[in-house]
Amino acid sequence: KAGVTQTPRYLIKTRGQQVTLSCSPISGHRSVSWYQQTPGQGLQFLFEYFSETQRNKGNFPGRFSGRQFSNSRSEMNVSTLELGDSALYLCASSPPTGKQETQYFGPGTRLLVL
Amino acid sequence: ILNVEQSPQSLHVQEGDSTNFTCSFPSSNFYALHWYRWETAKSPEALFVMTLNGDEKKKGRISATLNTKEGYSYLYIKGSQPEDSATYLCAPRTSGGYQKVTFGTGTKLQVIP
């Protein structure tokens, strides 16, 4: 079974621009979560989607948004980029087997904002 | 948001040493605890999911215990090897609906050959 894939892997943007990141979950997984990791910080939860609906949201400004498509692929959008948005963005998918789902992580997208 | 603490923040051990670290979490409404290993330049990878008080899991030289009443889990590595170098993350889950996942900040382990 193919793992979680994320595109692009690396991205350089300038302040004020917007960016869209993509995540394709493992086949059969309907839950997709997004995380941000910045130097010195742990994984910060952004949001979770399940069957095209946002099920949970972290404490991030409205510039961060996401969506999920009917094939469970998910996108994350950051508008009006700030220098502090430079980070590794990870997505993770989970099988629909209840609440103790293990998360399977993609390789991440490393975003640099100049 | 859950208050999840991991200690120590970082650890250097010699190859062959055994080591352990802690994940502390609120004991109320406990549902499950996940441990992940995150090697540099790779993705976090699941190690264990633990659900019952007194649970003990083992994978090779790595084992974990769980105390849900006092809200902590220990991860042990016996005879550390350089390939064990990684950041170890824990993520508790609570009952009562779908909660956002809160990861601890992790314990970064460096095994010196």
Convert the pLDDT of each residue in A4-27 to its tens digit: 999 999 999 999 999 999 999 999
Answer whether residue A97 shows pLDDT above 80: no
User: What pLDDT sits at residue B2?
Assistant: 77
User: What pLDDT sits at residue B49?
Assistant: 92
User: What pLDDT sits at residue B1?
Assistant: 66
Q: Does any CB of chain A come closer than 8 Å to the CB of residue B9?
A: no
Q: Which of A41, A45, A102 sits opposite B46 (nearest CB)?
A: A102
Rounded Cα distance between A97 and B49, Å, is 13
Q: Where are the beta strands (DSSP E) in chain A?
A: 5-7, 10-13, 19-24, 31-37, 43-50, 53-57, 64-68, 74-78, 87-94, 104-105, 109-113
User: What pLDDT sits at residue B94?
Assistant: 82
Convert the pLDDT of each residue in A26-70 to its tens digit: 999 999 999 999 987 889 999 999 999 998 899 999 999 999 999
Answer whether residue B17 shows pLDDT above 80: yes
Across the interface, whether the CB atoms of A102 and B31 are under 8 A apart is answered: no
Q: Does any CB of chain A come closer than 8 Å to the CB of residue B102?
A: yes
Answer whether residue B93 shows pLDDT above 80: yes
Rounded Cα distance between A32 and A26, Å, is 10
Rounded Cα distance between B92 and A45, Å, is 13
Residue type, position B94, single letter: T
